[in-house]
């Protein structure tokens, strides 16, 4: 009777015995999933197509408008204006700012928007196809407008567009009436 009394009582497992039991059960469960022969991992290499490669962004920065002289240039139909230069820096990791590049120049004078695509031949580029500075010579006629807001986007030779920069310039005292023209179109 003593033997049956002991078998009906629960036995306490020590932590060590519980851990050994847990490891044994885990091993039995995991064993069928282990391959018979270990194989080294296979790593494939190749070259990604250009559209899938990551690189630094094509950016423009440092937009500055500088007054050159008051009322010294002429805009066809509008008359006299003031000459300004607009300059900005570019950084194109793909190296495609070439003579085929284009600047999308948008001006807003008194709510009148005017977008002009300027070919690289109409601007001054210093630097190389990857980074440098672009300067645009403009003749601006403000009229009754108190300011001009300009936006620029640089489009490289393969059609990628940079970020957009925007700048607002207050009309200088004595500046003539509204209108914008590239100096090279005179």
Assigned token pair, 157 = 């030779």
Q: Is residue 22 classed exposed, middle or buried when 0-12, 13-18 and 19+ CB atoms within 10 A define those classes?
A: exposed
Is residue 171 in a domain? yes
Is residue 12 in a domain? no
Assigned token pair, 61 = 């920065």
Is residue 119 in a domain? yes
Contact in structure between 63 and 167 (CB atoms under 8 Å): yes
Spell out the per-residue pLDDT of the chain, length 186, in tens.
555 555 566 667 788 888 788 777 777 777 676 667 767 777 777 776 666 666 678 999 999 999 999 888 887 766 788 899 999 999 999 899 988 899 999 999 888 899 999 998 889 999 999 999 999 999 888 878 889 999 999 999 999 999 999 999 998 888 865 455 555 444
- Tokens 């000459």 correspond to 83
* Gap between the Cα atoms of 131 and 2, Å rounded: 94
Assigned token pair, 16 = 């060590």
Assigned token pair, 186 = 């005179």
Is residue 26 in a domain? no
Is residue 115 in a domain? yes
Could you list the residue range(s) of the whole structural domain that residue 149 is in?
A: 57-185
Is residue 164 in a domain? yes
Q: What is the DSSP letter of 184?
A: G
Domain count, the chain: 1
Q: Which CATH number goes with the domain that contains 132?
A: 2.60.40.10
Q: Which residues contact 126 (CB under 8 A, 6 or more apart)?
A: 132, 133, 135
Nearest one of 147, 10, 4, 161 to 65, comparing CA atoms: 147
Is residue 8 in a domain? no
């Amino acid at each position: 009777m003593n033997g049956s009394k002991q078998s009906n009582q629960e036995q306490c497992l020590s932590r060590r015995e519980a851990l050994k039991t847990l490891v044994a059960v885990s091993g039995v469960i995991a064993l069928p999933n282990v391959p018979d022969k270990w194989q080294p991992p296979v790593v494939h290499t190749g070259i990604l197509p250009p559209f899938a490669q990551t690189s630094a962004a094509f950016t423009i920065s440092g937009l500055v408008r500088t007054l050159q002289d008051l009322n010294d240039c002429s805009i066809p139909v509008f008359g006299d204006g003031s000459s300004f230069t607009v300059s900005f820096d570019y950084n194109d990791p793909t190296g495609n700012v070439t003579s085929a590049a284009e600047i999308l120049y948008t001006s807003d004078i008194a709510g009148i928007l005017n977008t002009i695509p300027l070919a690289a031949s109409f601007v001054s580029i210093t630097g190389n196809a990857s980074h440098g500075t672009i300067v645009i010579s403009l003749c601006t006629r403000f009229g009754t407008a108190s300011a001009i807001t300009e936006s620029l986007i640089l489009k490289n030779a393969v059609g990628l567009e940079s970020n957009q920069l925007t700048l607002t310039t207050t009309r200088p005292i004595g500046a003539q009436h509204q209108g914008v023209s590239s100096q090279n179109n005179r």
